[in-house]
Amino acid sequence: MKKFIMIVFFFLVIIVFIGFNYLLWERENRAKDIKSLQDINTSNSITISALNRQLENLDNNLKIKEDNINKLNEEILALKKDLEKLNQDFARSNKAITHKNDVIEYLLKNTQLGIIEMPIKEWAEYINAGDYESTYRTWYVSKEDIKESIAEFGSKYRDVVDGIKIQSIAIYDQDIEKQYGTEALQEGDVFFLVELDVKLVEGRGEGNSLFEEGLNRKIFALRYNSTEDVWHISGIMEIK
């Protein structure tokens, strides 16, 4: 019996020893697994950080490229506007050259200034007669010339000017562009210095922007309409 107890005790000790070793082995393996997981987490964290940096770099590069594209688009738009303006300027220049050629051709064929200055004389005659529609036609002979209605035009003279008498008409030989600018030069083809004796309507004509009572010295710009083959008044300027 005693021997049996010893054998059982011995087996119990062996079982406890084996169990203890197993627990130690299990603990060691778990520690290794934990260490492995920690290493994997650390590696994953480094990889994620690297990927985040790469993504940030890609975003920065993309933003730079987008900025460059926007700048290029703005430059292209500016170039298109410049090209459009150049085309418009070119078209205007061609139109102006064609018009000047028509004027030169007319002047070569017609040397009498009386025909050119006729609209000025008719303008004064029609005003004196109160025929403002005909006066309007001495200014505007085609639709592209029209800048105001007949009513607007007539209001400048009706109940303002009582009469106009032309004292003299002479070619204005001074430098129009230097005195009045390029726009004024382009407004007319021929310029006349005209002296007018103006009588204003009493109590109504004073303070108007066109004429003063008595002697008025004005520069009349006349333009040739090649389509209608007529001259018309295109502007009246004060002498500087």
As for how many domains the chain has, the answer is 2
Q: Are residues 43 and 76 in the same domain?
A: yes
pLDDT in the model for residue 20: 57
pLDDT in the model for residue 190: 86
Question: How does the average pLDDT of the chain come out, rounded?
Answer: 80
Q: Are residues 46 and 86 in the same domain?
A: yes
Q: Are residues 104 and 173 in the same domain?
A: no
Q: Are residues 174 and 227 in the same domain?
A: yes
pTM, 2 dp: 0.58
Report the CATH number that the domain containing residue 196 is assigned in CATH.
Answer: 3.10.450.50
pLDDT in the model for residue 47: 73
Q: Are residues 90 and 192 in the same domain?
A: no
Count H helices and E strands in the chain, helices first: 6, 4
pLDDT in the model for residue 21: 65
- DSSP assignment letter at 144: G
Q: Are residues 224 and 128 in the same domain?
A: yes
Q: Are residues 79 and 130 in the same domain?
A: no
pLDDT in the model for residue 115: 85
pLDDT in the model for residue 13: 60
Q: Are residues 76 and 105 in the same domain?
A: yes
pLDDT in the model for residue 232: 93
Domain extent for 127: 113-238
Specify the DSSP element, H or E, that contains 153: helix 150-154
Last residue of one domain, picked from the residues 109, 140, 166: 109
Last residue of one domain, picked from the residues 81, 109, 137: 109
Whole-Å CA distances, 205 to 74, 157, 193, 195, 235: 55, 9, 23, 19, 21
Last residue of one domain, picked from the residues 109, 134, 155: 109
Q: Are residues 229 and 121 in the same domain?
A: yes
Q: Are residues 136 and 165 in the same domain?
A: yes
pLDDT in the model for residue 206: 63
Q: Are residues 9 and 78 in the same domain?
A: yes
**Which portions of the chain are predicted below pLDDT 70?**
1-13, 15-24, 26-29, 31, 33-44, 89, 92-112, 180-185, 204-208
Q: Are residues 72 and 118 in the same domain?
A: no
